[in-house]
Amino acid sequence: TGETAYAKMEKVNAELFLFTYGALVSQLLQDLNDVTEVNTQIEKMGFNIGTRLIEEFLAKSGVSGCKSFEETGETIARVACKMFLGVTGYTRNWSADKQTFSLVIDENPLCEFVEIPEHAHGLLYSNIICGVIRGALEALQLIVQVRVLKDVLRDDETNEFEVKLIQVNEEQFFGDDD
């Protein structure tokens, strides 16, 4: 479970992480001076981070493979969120074909202490999470699109991400044949 995996991992102070991430976003805002471009960059960085975190996830979580995309979604919400962010999320709004869902993180620690300045209107501060999910799943041969639907930093009541399965690459997935 998420709790067990969380207990097993090496951890650092949450604020150290939050302030470091804040410094990264500020730096990008200053350098790129274009909010849309910053959003893209943040997502790309998240993608790279996700492709590396997946190994840690597989090593420590005890999760060995998901039988369906629904199970993948639940695993992200209940195990991965707890493991990496220290909070548990949940899914909702599954499409009829079970290929799209919302990941909800009511208490997104990433957004603590953050205020988006006026000149950065439109900044998707949590876009790194979209990238991490996309990168981690792509490493598992699941091609997905992820986007921010709701964001407390934009005065929504929660943080919600839409995750949409686009394609399942053949090799390795479900890992039974090799």
Binding site for its own copies (CB under 8 A): 9-17, 19-21, 23-24, 27-28, 31, 41, 45, 48-49, 52-53, 56, 83-86, 109, 113, 128
- For the bound state, the minimum distance from the C-beta of residue 109 to its own copies, rounded and expressed in Å, comes to 7
Q: To the nearest whole angstrom, how small is the minimum distance from the Cβ of residue 17 to its own copies? A: 4
**CA torsion angle for 69, 72, 74, 78 (degrees, to 10)?**
-170
- Output the smallest distance, CB 87 to its own copies, in A: 10
Quick one: 28 or 144, whose CB is closer to its own copies?
A: 28
To its own copies, the closest distance from the beta carbon of 30 in angstroms equals 9
Helix (H) or strand (E) holding 92: strand 90-92
CB-nearer residue toward its own copies: 61 or 91: 61
> Smaller CB distance to its own copies: residue 78 or 164?
78
**Long-range contacts from 13-21, C-beta under 8 angstroms, 24+ separation:** 14/86, 14/109, 14/112, 15/113, 18/109, 18/110, 18/112, 18/113, 18/114, 19/113, 21/110, 21/128
Cβ pair 18, 86 in contact under 8 A: no
Shorter beta-carbon distance to its own copies: residue 27 or 93: 27
Q: How far is the CB of 170 from its own copies (least distance, A)?
A: 28
Q: Please, what's the largest Cα pairwise distance for the chain?
A: 53
Select 21 or 94, whichever has its Cβ closest to its own copies: 21
Contact status, residue 150 vs residue 160, Cβ threshold 8 Å: yes
Q: Is-contact 42 28, C-beta < 8 A?
A: yes
Task: Give the amino acid at 44.
Answer: K
